[in-house]
Amino acid sequence: MTMTDQFQLTDDQLAIQDMARKFTADAITPFAAEWDEQAHFPRDVIKAAAELGFAAIYVSEEAGGIGLGRLEAALIMEAMAYGCPATSAFISIHNMASWMIDRFGGDDVKARFLPDLVTMDRMASYCLTEPGSGSDAAALRTSAVLEGPGSGSGAGYYVVNGTKQFISGAGVNDVYVTMVRTGAPGPKGISCLVIEKDMPGVSFGAKEKKLGWNASPTAQVIFDNVKVPVANRVGAEGDGFRFAMAGLDGGRLNIGACSLGGAQRCLDEAVVYVKDRQQFGQPIGDFQNTQFMLADMATELEAARALLYLAAAKVSANAPDKTRFSAMAKRLATDGGSNVVNNALQLFGGYGYLKDYPIERFWRDLRVHSILEGTNQVMRMIVGRDLLRQ
């Protein structure tokens, strides 16, 4: 148990954390290496997480969710990532898509989609990134041209054309919360549509062959003259980019939490290993160099965890500096998490490089965390610009 577990969390939060840890220990950790090796998507396990409420962590209780805050969500993601960061991140993405519909959608779109998303009878992807617009998300080009009798409530439809890149769950998920261009270039021309897998003109690229996250399928989502009812729009035209940025605050916390969970697992594995591994007639844990490495790993992990929990509280409270703190926490947790895992692999020596041990899987899975939900270079830009505006 870490210091932040015992001295900063409420009894309710500790109970939620314990439930997530038990689920992970029973349903995720024993099987994660096989999922990675076989590139298996554990749909049944992910759906089982929904029975605990983990498919709608910060969806409102009125909409069928469990209505928790971003700190509780981070605790759940961190606990599940201890077993498999890819599976935890997949559930995080589903939560972000469901939350966006709940937070910004009208009564009709919420009533049609949320009941099945809360239970994960249908699973959701979030579609923002495109082949030509990654960090520059406001430059997205996927177009949605309004046709029919107008943009009034439930009237008409959009014809959607374009391609989304690096979409987790593409091809296996049923619902795609998609950012499209309905207006002029720039952020104010972006809107949000809920697009369904079985709509004519929706197709998917080949499954990407990735360094890590092998338990989570990734592919392009391709829209070819897809007719999407205006009733599937979330919020007003032109508000999509604002929704996307609001979603990223929570997404950054979750992916940071996934790094914390993976790094904690590798630190724990390293502590056990260095007590047992003998070199020069004694356990390598007896060497001061080993102890210094473990001390730095634990310190880096606790510092990142404390900042991430603080940022999560700020997002839940809608604090004015929530975006800056989310960016700082994401940057520190993902960079620090990868560093901890890398040092754990070093302590394992050649054995750390083998798939017989879990370290190399976490090394691969955590590497992408400093890229997605905004690269860590963009996180630095967000923090620096916010400081200069004060």
Catalytic residue annotation = 373
Number of residues that make up the chain:
390
C-alpha span between 5 and 367 (Å, rounded): 25
Q: How do 124-127 and 157-168 pair as beta strands?
A: unpaired
Pick from 352, 329, 202: nearest CA to 269: 352
Distance CA 384, CA 380 (A): 6
Instruction: Work out the burial of residue 340: count CB atoms within 10 Å of its CB; fewer than 13 is exposed, 13-18 middle, 19 or more buried.
Output: buried
Rounded distance between C-alpha atoms, residue 314 and residue 58, angstroms: 15
CA 10/CA 235 separation, integer angstroms:
35
Residues whose CB is less than 8 angstroms from the CB of residue 325 and which lie 6 or more positions away in sequence, other chains included: 307, 310, 311, 314, 315, 319
CB contact set of 217 (below 8 Å; sequence gap of 6+): 39, 41, 168, 169, 170, 171, 172, 207
Token pair recorded at residue 98: 């469901």
Query: What gap in Å lies between CA 148 and CA 22, rounded to an integer?
Result: 52
